[in-house]
Homo-oligomer: A and B are copies of this chain.
Amino acid sequence: VRKFPAVLLASALLAGGHASWAESLAIFGATIIDGTGAAPLKDGVLVIEDGRIIAVGKRGIRVPANHRRLEAAGKYVIPGLMDANVHLFLDFFPLTLARFEDRVDEIVIEASQIALKNGLTTVFDSWGPRADLVKARDAIRAGTSVGSRIYLAGNIIGFGGPYTASFFPSASEALFEGFVDRINARWQENVGPELLWMPPDEVRRQLGKYLETGVDFLKYGATGHGGLEHYIAFSPRVQRIFVEEAHAAGITAQSHTSSVEGLDLAVEAGVDILQHCDETGNDHPIPAETIGKIVERRIPCSLLANTDKALAWFAEQAENSPAYKRFITRDINDRALIAAGAEILLSTDAGLFGADTVGSAFWASIVPPEDNLLLLGEGHFTWLRAVEEKGMQPMDILMAATRNIARAYGVDRDLGTLEVGKFADLLILDANPLVSADNYRTISLVMKEGQIVERDALPTQRLLSQDPSR
């Protein structure tokens, strides 16, 4: 019996980060943690054909003869990880967008490869430039590019583009208006802040058009952004339109909220996912009543969970600048939601950033040193440790990063667990993730739809990313 990965690399991988075809193979001997919440299966066998799992069981189950055998004794097989909230293109600062205005889709691919390399076989991009994301998603789907599987929402409905009051308005003064308008339009399309002025019928009309542009799910800004986190953006009846229209289009709807009342309104609107429901400002944690509704109605809740280390840094900054207090409140919310048994989703807000951005004083002012939820490829590991620190159970943590997300987004027919019939999206880890969340970092192999990912070859092109370790 040969050991991998040496042989694997020699036999099965092609240039470009991916095996060129989905092998028929079987993984032998590993402990299989299938993501359903069932007890780990020791010395298991997992059989893969045409990209899907065709059998899983104790050693001894029938494996077709033509299947290559992958010996993985002592290792752990888990479903491919997911991130319920990334922004593959997030470095929207003027330097980066001026440089790469015409190559944003390539940066999306680059980002998705860094995600994949680090075990995220599927990511949900909940804010970004729609057309570029669609182009990258489709290239990956078609197999012409390697990368994490992308589901995308495009704009957060009601938000302005990068160079508006919603995000980084000071850019507008230094850049020419032609560029500023182009960039903002690329995000906003027809679902920007002007929707806040509209009566329900007109919102429905604009939304209808947007839903035809290839988005995979809908996200709306129930509250404001860029200093307006305490304002509500849409009336309850308009929020219900978002949910209705998404469902009518066969996709899920989620909210962006940033205050206790904003959260409660989104709950009442019937969203499928409460994105970062732990974000309620500096001073007021989620009231018990709202937590009760979330738990009772089983509305999946993504958390932006910070580690204790990061929280200590935020607390230190908060002494001079109250803005950092919201992270403290976030922690209170995270612990309360976990304790109450809410359906938790892994969510990082992570993206890729260029060297000028990461080296700036601006960055240093918002990102805790040595701890970074925001960095794609790193953020999800940070998150897994953070929720462990907050008392979440190991098996719940695994499901928060796999099955829960697949269910919440309605893609659990194919994704989220290691059950027969599902895509063979999986990781082989050297150490048991149920013993310590840090063990998610011990990735030995990433497989997506039955193909083994050539991790060392990713990203295939570095336009933005600098860190060779990711």
A residues touching B (Cβ–Cβ < 8 Å)?
93-95, 98-99, 101, 165, 168, 170-179, 193-194, 196-202, 224, 227-228, 230-238, 259-262, 264-265, 280-284, 287, 290, 355-357, 359-362
A224 touches B231 (CB 8 A): yes
B232 touches A174 (CB 8 A): no
A173 touches B176 (CB 8 A): no
A356 touches B259 (CB 8 A): no
A94 touches B175 (CB 8 A): yes
Nearest-CB distance from A362 to chain B (Å)?
7
B94 touches A174 (CB 8 A): yes
Contact A233 to B232, CB < 8 A, known contacts A94-B94, A176-B95, A356-B179: yes
How many copies of this chain does the complex contain?
A: 4
B175 touches A95 (CB 8 A): yes
Besides A173-B173, A196-B259, A197-B230, 10 more A-B contacts (Cβ < 8 Å) are: A94-B174, A94-B175, A95-B179, A165-B227, A179-B356, A197-B280, A197-B283, A199-B287, A200-B261, A232-B235
Residues of B within 8 A of A173 (CB): 170, 173-174
The distance in angstroms between the C-alpha atoms of A193 and B202, with both chains bound, is 30
B234 touches A198 (CB 8 A): no
B287 touches A264 (CB 8 A): no
Nearest-CB distance from A193 to chain B (Å)?
7
The distance in angstroms between the C-alpha atoms of A171 and B170, with both chains bound, is 9
- The contact of A98 among B99, B196, B360, B361, by CB within 8 Å, is B99
- The contact of A361 among B165, B174, B177, B179, by CB within 8 Å, is B177
Residues of B within 8 A of A290 (CB): 199
Residues of B within 8 A of A361 (CB): 176-177
B284 touches A202 (CB 8 A): yes
Residues of B within 8 A of A101 (CB): 99
| Beta-carbon nearest neighbor of A163 in chain B | B174
Q: Lowest 10 CB-CB distances: which A-B pairs, in order?
A: A98-B98, A174-B174, A196-B230, A231-B231, A176-B360, A232-B232, A235-B261, A171-B174, A199-B287, A176-B356
Contact A232 to B230, CB < 8 A, known contacts A176-B359, A178-B359: no
The distance in angstroms between the C-alpha atoms of A303 and B290, with both chains bound, is 38
Residues of B within 8 A of A237 (CB): 261, 264
Nearest-CB distance from A352 to chain B (Å)?
16
23 pairs, A vs B, C-beta closer than 8 Å: A93-B175, A94-B175, A95-B98, A95-B176, A99-B99, A99-B101, A165-B227, A168-B174, A170-B174, A174-B175, A177-B361, A178-B360, A196-B259, A197-B230, A198-B260, A199-B260, A199-B287, A199-B290, A232-B232, A232-B235, A234-B261, A235-B265, A237-B264
The distance in angstroms between the C-alpha atoms of A290 and B200, with both chains bound, is 11
